[in-house]
Amino acid sequence: MIRLEGLGKTFGSYAAVSDLNLEVRPGEIFGFLGPNGAGKTTTVKMMAGLLKPSAGRVLINGLDLAADPIAAKRAMGLVPDEPFVYPKLTGAEYLRFVGELYGVPLDDMRKRVPELLEMFELAPWSGELLESYSHGMRQKLVLAGILLHDPKVLVLDEPMVGLDPKSGRLVKDIFIRLAERGTALFMCTHVLEIAEKLCHRIGIMIGGKMIACGTIDELHAQSNKEGRDLESIFLSLTGGGEYSTLLRYL
Amino acid sequence: MLATLLRRRTRTFSNSISHWTRYEWIRNAAFSSAGFGLLFGLHYGFYRLLKYLATIELIGLLLTWKLTAMLLLMTLSMVVVSSLLTALTTLFYSYDLKFLLKAPVSLRTVFLDKSLESAFFASWMIGLILVPYIAAIMRVQHLGLTFFAGFIVAVPPFLLLAASFGIGFTLLLLYFFPSSRTRDVVWVFSSLSLTVVYGLVRFAQPEKLIRPDALKVVAEYLSFLQAPTAPYLPSWWLAEALRMSAEGDWRGWALRAFGLWGAACLVYGLLVLLAGKVYFIGYSGAQEGALRRRVHSFRPLAEKYFLGTGSAAALLWKERTTFFRDVKHWSQILLIIGLVFVYLFSIRRLPLDSAELRSLVSFLNVGTAGFVLAALGLRFTFPAISLEGRAWWILRSAPLDVGQVMREKFLFSVVPLLSIAATLALTTNWILEADRFTSWLSFGALVTVGLAICVMGVGFGALFPNFHVENIHQIESSVGGFVYMAACLFYVGFTIAVLAAPMQMHFAERFGTGVWNSRVAAFSGGGWLVLNLAAFIVPWQLGRRALENHE
């Protein structure tokens, strides 16, 4: 599970994230929404150990990320917003490399690497350099990489970007299956439809602060809006009328 | 439209200056001062040399202008090679090209913008180094500011011409070899040719030409001094323009300067015309991505035996595989092999008559070979962490300690660096027939220098990481690269200084003018130990802390 306690990050005098408290339980898919610049990616980076928090702490599977980073990271898998990988490795080599970093036994890797490549339809390209992969193929490979070591916690920043509809469906099914098996999933996304269908609970962030958190019903109650769909709730909570001037201009 | 494109550069520059923090102001002021100090040091060295040449009766002036012509020829070749490398990244792989090419801007305008950028970055630093030399000529020959103004007017077309040659070659290379694999092969062959040409020039022993004893008669020597140095190249035109302005022949200067400007406009104009035909085809080929190819990797038995299959082995394997698959590194390796051969050949050709002098040179070789190792460290070891690039998230989010990543970078660099250090030390000592004491001292010192340069390379690389650079040259020429190089030179200088005392006592004992003083030797050894402890520990620890906190 994931627990964020009073998490904050400042860049100079600018507070990107302030006093964020959150718990994602095992088996739960948590959707993290917010407009651009709300502090979502900063939060993800702090959770993955890529940024040092200015305040508070991150607990992954009960382990303090600052105190015991190696054990905490071993229990976690990250999909960043941009799937940058080593261009001079092949797909199969990348998976094997990630497996070795996370201590996956060699016998398990021999079995699982071809399975994952097959599952994500990357097997025909497994022996080719990653510099020739498209964005979507690299995204699938990164997803395959995190599944290889079977993490207890998944941190996902826009995991569906660049995926074709078939792969998108596959990834959604994988997330549901992982949650059923007890994995805690924390997912940043701008695609409200995915969040609505997939997530058990949703948090909405603006200006570095969590302004709403709960199930769809709970968010609806907080927003006082007629429509029950997530888009209406999201726009009600984050403000959506300001583009009327723009529309007039067009 | 070109004005708009150029304005974005001045705006970016002024914005970045206006957003400097106080720390950045102090840091940049410190580095600028160090840069000026370096230029001043060069000026002093040139001044001493030119002043000495001026004292040589009859041929002093001839020697000065011969040296100027050779220096300009070297500058020309350096700008050509530098623009070859710069043009490839700026004209074909810059991040902003996708934006520029999809905007309603003509291809010619984009080429003008990018080729001028290439020419500027390939030549400004080399051109700047000419300034202290010109200032030294002015001081020695008591020339006024008009001479300097004559230089300022004539040098831009000279640099533009040199850069145009390099850009033209890159344009044609990308046009004729759009497939990445063919391009890689051609790139390697170009580097190989460059290495061979470099070796041939050196093995032709040009130093013979400036030593009168190497030529048969005085008349032959004088005719060599008076003969043009590569008369068809712009370097000779500039040298002649400078000589004429120094002699007050402004008509002759104007003719050469006009010739340089005319040739630069003509060549650059032809380059723009050529670009109209070939640039987009080359760019399109470069964007098609690497050729899809199946590759195989292997893990050497020694690596398996010592490192097993854990994360340390995986990191080393990844480093080795990605390094050798990048063809740009092959060309660098070829050039290094050429450099080592030329270095050893130069040692062999040194006119050293006595055994003592040969031993002294063997000791001083620690300094020159140390400089070579520092240059290699700057090229290979220092950028290693930054070259993780945007894939750094993979290692940072993995269950790894930052120190483990640094250790792996060190392991990967240390073997080649130590091999080169040992080769340079052993071969030089063998060539020079240095005595046993000097041989052991210089060998031990140089191997330690190799180790320290490697540790410092990883340490400073971690202290100044930059995961968002477009190419390796930006890492080398960054503030961190400058600090690393300065630290290496400082370290090598101190190594020579602390080991000079035992060498001095050794010579005194040989000449019978003194005896071995154990206290001085112990003091020198202690100093050497402290220096190395500082070099091994301080940059590593600072780098480790900085990389852990890097955001």
Hey, where are the domains in chain A? 2-75+152-249, 86-150
Most confident of A227-236, B108-117, B448-457: B448-457
Residues of chain A whose beta carbon is less than 8 angstroms from a beta carbon of chain B are: 48-52, 69-71, 73-74, 76, 78, 80, 82, 84-90, 93, 96-98, 100-103, 106, 125, 127-129, 131-132
Q: Is the pLDDT of residue A132 over 90?
A: no
Question: B396 contacts in A (CB within 8 Å)?
Answer: 48-50
Q: Do residues B402 and B459 make contact, with C-beta atoms less than 8 angstroms apart?
A: no
Mean pLDDT of A91-105: 90
Among B286, B317, B344, identify where a domain stops. Answer: B286
Mean pLDDT of A62-68: 90
Greater pLDDT, B181 or B435:
B435
Claim to verify: residue B142 and residue B267 sit in the same structural domain: yes
**AA letter at B464:** F
Number of structural domains found in chain B: 2
Claim to verify: residue B248 and residue B373 sit in the same structural domain: no
Mean pLDDT of B133-161: 93
Q: Do residues B480 and B488 make contact, with C-beta atoms less than 8 angstroms apart?
A: no
Nearest in space to A21 (alpha carbons), one of A40, A1, A49, A2: A2
Which candidate from B310, B325, B401 shows the least CB-CB separation from A88? B325
CB contact under 8 A, A128 and B293: yes
pLDDT tens string B380-428 = 899 999 988 888 999 999 998 899 999 999 999 999 999 999 998 999 8
Q: Is the pLDDT of residue A146 over 60?
A: yes
Claim to verify: residue B167 and residue B96 sit in the same structural domain: yes
pLDDT at B255: 92
Claim to verify: residue B92 and residue B139 sit in the same structural domain: yes
Q: Which CATH architecture has domain A2-75+152-249?
A: 3-Layer(aba) Sandwich (3.40)
pLDDT tens string B492-551 = 989 988 998 898 888 888 878 878 888 988 999 999 999 999 999 999 999 999 998 887
Specify the pTM.
Answer: 0.75
B293 vs A: CB within 8 A: yes
Q: Is the pLDDT of residue B1 over 80?
A: no
Claim to verify: residue B427 and residue B538 sit in the same structural domain: yes
CB contact under 8 A, A100 and B394: no
**Phi, psi (rounded to 5 degrees) for B547:** -70, -35
pLDDT at B217: 57
pLDDT at B173: 82
Cβ contacts of B435 within 8 Å, gap of 6 or more: B355, B359, B510
Claim to verify: residue B394 and residue B264 sit in the same structural domain: no
- Count A/B contacts: CB-CB distance under 8 Å: 93
Q: Is the pLDDT of residue A88 over 80?
A: yes
B400 vs A: CB within 8 A: yes
**In chain B, what is the greatest distance between 2 CA atoms, to the nearest angstrom?**
82
Element (H, E) at B536: helix B518-548
Cβ contacts of A203 within 8 Å, gap of 6 or more: A22, A30, A31, A32, A33, A210, A212, A213
CA distance, residue B313 to nearest chain A CA (Å): 8
Claim to verify: residue B387 and residue B474 sit in the same structural domain: yes
Which candidate from B289, B311, B325 shows the least CB-CB separation from A132? B289
- Report the alpha-carbon distance of residue B212 to residue B209 in Å, rounded: 7
Question: B317 contacts in A (CB within 8 Å)?
Answer: 97
B265 alpha carbon, distance to own chain's centre: 29
pLDDT tens string B209-235 = 555 555 555 566 666 666 666 677 888
* 3-class SS string, B434-474: CCHHHHHHHHHHHHHHHHHHHHHHHHHHHHCCCCCCCCHHH
**DSSP label at B380?**
I
Interface of B with A in 322-341 (CB under 8 A): 322, 325-326
Question: B551 contacts in A (CB within 8 Å)?
Answer: 50-52
CA distance, residue B551 to nearest chain A CA (Å): 5
Q: Is the pLDDT of residue B473 over 80?
A: no
Claim to verify: residue B270 and residue B349 sit in the same structural domain: no
Among B236, B255, B286, identify where a domain stops. Answer: B286
- Report the alpha-carbon distance of residue B322 to residue B332 in Å, rounded: 15
Which candidate from B289, B318, B400 shows the least CB-CB separation from A89? B318
Q: What percent of chain B has pLDDT over 90?
A: 29
B292 vs A: CB within 8 A: yes
Select from B393, B401, B544 the residue whose CB has the most chain A CBs within 10 Å, as the one to mutate to test that interface. B393
pLDDT tens string B263-308 = 999 999 999 999 988 888 888 877 765 545 555 555 555 555 555 5
Mean pLDDT of A49-69: 90
**AA letter at A215:** T
Mean pLDDT of B109-130: 88
Q: Tokens representing B300?
A: 């050497």
pLDDT tens string B305-330 = 555 567 888 888 888 888 888 777 77
3-state secondary structure of A56: strand
Output the average pLDDT for chain B: 83
pLDDT tens string B249-265 = 999 999 999 999 999 99
- Report the alpha-carbon distance of residue B349 to residue B337 in Å, rounded: 19
Q: If pLDDT is split at 50, 70 and 90, which confidence band does B185 have?
A: low
Number of C-beta neighbours around residue B348 at 10 A: 11
Helix spans in chain A (H)? 40-48, 69-74, 91-101, 106-119, 135-148, 165-180, 192-198, 216-223, 230-238, 244-249
Question: B395 contacts in A (CB within 8 Å)?
Answer: 101
Mean pLDDT of B350-379: 83
Select from A46, A52, A88, A102 the residue whose CB has the most chain B CBs within 10 Å, as the one to mutate to test that interface. A88
Claim to verify: residue B414 and residue B498 sit in the same structural domain: yes
Claim to verify: residue B271 and residue B394 sit in the same structural domain: no
B26 falls within a domain:
no
pLDDT at B115: 92
Give Cα separations from A129 to B134, B291, B447, B457 (angstroms): 50, 9, 37, 29
Claim to verify: residue B276 and residue B376 sit in the same structural domain: no
Nearest chain B alpha carbon to A11: B551
Question: B390 contacts in A (CB within 8 Å)?
Answer: 82, 84
- Report the alpha-carbon distance of residue A112 to residue A19 in Å, rounded: 40
Domain around B274: 42-286
Claim to verify: residue B267 and residue B347 sit in the same structural domain: no
Q: Is the pLDDT of residue B101 over 90?
A: no
CB contact under 8 A, B399 and A128: no
CB contact under 8 A, A103 and B399: yes
Q: If pLDDT is split at 50, 70 and 90, which confidence band does B444 have?
A: very high
B291 vs A: CB within 8 A: yes
Interface of B with A in 520-549 (CB under 8 A): 549
CB contact under 8 A, A70 and B313: no
B299 falls within a domain:
no
Facing residues of A214 across strands? A202
B1 falls within a domain:
no
Output the average pLDDT for chain A: 86
Among B256, B286, B316, identify where a domain stops. Answer: B286
A34: left (phi over 0), alpha (psi -120 to 50) or beta: left
Q: If pLDDT is split at 50, 70 and 90, which confidence band does B67 have?
A: confident
